[in-house]
Amino acid sequence: MNDLLSQLRLVGDWLTSSKQWHGDEGIPHRLLEHLTYSGLSLLFAALIGLTFGLLVGHTGRGAFAVASVANLARAIPTFGLVVLVVTLAGLSTTPVLIALVALAVPPILINTFEGVRGVDPDTRDAARGVGMTGWEVLVRVEVPMALPLILLGLRVAAIQVVATATVAAYPGLGGLGRFIVDGLSRNDYELVIGGSTVVVVLALVVQIVFTALRRFIVSPGLRVSAAKP
């Protein structure tokens, strides 16, 4: 208990120190860098995952390929990928983005595919029966009904990216991981614990944002259906 209290006191002292809120090494600047890496990675991953997930889920073609690619990408170690790309391409944001995109694509791709594929076939047939084209069926029927799973995939990807974007600090870039890496190199555990706390809080904020988004854009009936086992 005493150890926990001392660690909480360290975090409190670190967070309330004025120097942590100013300059290039302050929390606001590092947070902006972290959000930039995370936001760009999630954007690219969403473009890839949603596009292929919707296409394959709607047409039913390429399901095995989607599952294989997603599982392969999930098995790639993020830190190892960062180091490899840095070695080949040099120090830049590119290796970080590649690694984070590879991490974020699988949950988005799989959940989008499963959400669209899981739409009741009778509902599809009814939509076609009233004269909807294939595109209209996808946009007006399948996507709205698959939205709970699609948002789940985006939420999982976003939390993973925010938590893993700390790897940007290892090849010498910025972000919140800078606190952790620099703290470990200096044996400054206050810096390590403080930086880790900010990352955890950011991940919780992302969770809250997606929970609120789900409440606002998913119809109540679909929320209830998605919550059932």
**How far is 56 from 181, CA to CA, in rounded Å?**
41
**Most confident range, picked from 61-70, 93-102, 109-118, 164-173:** 109-118
pTM to 2 decimals?
A: 0.85
Identify the weakest region by mean pLDDT among 6-10, 25-29, 46-50, 134-138: 6-10
Rounded Cα distance, 13 and 194, in Å: 9
Q: Are 73 and 106 in contact (CB under 8 A)?
A: yes
Phi-psi region of 70 (alpha: psi -120 to 50; beta: other; left: phi over 0): alpha
∠ Cα 101 60 153 (to 5°): 35
* Structural domains in the chain plus CATH codes: 2-227 (1.10.3720.10)
The answer on pLDDT for 217 being more than 80 is yes
- Where would I find the beta strands (DSSP E) of the chain? none
The whole-number average pLDDT for the span 116-139 is 85
36 to each of 25, 100, 225, how far by Cα in Å?
Answer: 16, 12, 35
